[in-house]
A = this chain, B = another copy of it.
Amino acid sequence: MSQRRPRPSGGEPADDGAGGVPDDVAAAVERVLSTTALLWSRAEQGLEPAISPIQLRAVEAISRFGRLNLGGLAEELGAIPSSASRLCDRLEAAGLIVREPAREDRREIIVRLTDQGERLHTQLVRRRRTAVRDVLAHMSPTSRARLIDALTEFGQACERRDSGEARVVGSRTA
């Protein structure tokens, strides 16, 4: 255990003019978001029942859409239908989801969370909020208010960027 010194990730301030955003600004945001990504993954541990990260992503996607077909799930996960099918085999065996043919088009299979699946997702969101709250508790109310405003603007900018792009994201059709 003698080889565990992390290197400082601090970088060389630069000024790339692309988009009018200085490179060191982008770098600073990138670093903080990397930290929060760690916070995020921790909240996923200790769930009951414990499932794999991939299964958890599937549960999240199904929860987000309420009900969606298998192809849609695959697309959300950035996977292909056959992989999603196998994944659903296990989620179904675990009692977290159910599969049923769509009424409109019986070729489609609709995937939904069971009550147990819903409870698992609720548990996940609760754990994340708790993690966030733990961090926020170490900030002053003023800082918290500034953070909310800034993050809200950031979220809106994310949406503006998304809508202003060709949206070739989850498709592996190419």
- Looking at chain A's contact residues, the main secondary structure is helix
User: Which residues in B have their C-beta under 8 angstroms from that of A78?
Assistant: 41, 45
- A interface residues, tally (CB under 8 Å): 77
A136 contacts partner chain B, Cβ-Cβ < 8 Å: yes
A132–B29 CB distance below 8 A: yes
Residue from A102, A110, A152 whose CB has the most chain B CB atoms within 10 Å: A152
Protomer copies: 2
A154–B161 CB distance below 8 A: no
Interface residues of A in 89-103 (CB under 8 A from B): 102
Instruction: Name the contact of A135 in the complex, choosing from B5, B41, B154 (C-beta under 8 A).
Output: B154
A151–B148 CB distance below 8 A: no
B7–A64 CB distance below 8 A: yes
B64–A32 CB distance below 8 A: no
A19 contacts partner chain B, Cβ-Cβ < 8 Å: yes
B132–A26 CB distance below 8 A: yes
User: Which residues in B have their C-beta under 8 angstroms from that of A1?
Assistant: 69, 71-72
Contact mask for chain A residues 1-26; partner B; CB cutoff 8 A; 1 contact, 0 none: 11111110100000010111101011
Of the A-B pairs whose beta carbons lie under 8 Å apart in the complex, a sample of 10, sorted by A's number, is A2-B69, A2-B105, A3-B108, A21-B136, A23-B133, A29-B132, A30-B125, A36-B154, A139-B154, A146-B149
Interface residues of A (CB under 8 A from B): 1-7, 9, 16, 18-21, 23, 25-37, 39-42, 45, 64-69, 71-72, 78, 102, 104-105, 108, 110, 125, 128-130, 132-139, 141, 143-144, 146-155, 157-158, 160-161, 164, 169
- A-B pairs with lowest CB-CB distance, top 9: A19-B137, A150-B150, A138-B157, A26-B133, A32-B151, A147-B150, A32-B155, A3-B68, A138-B160
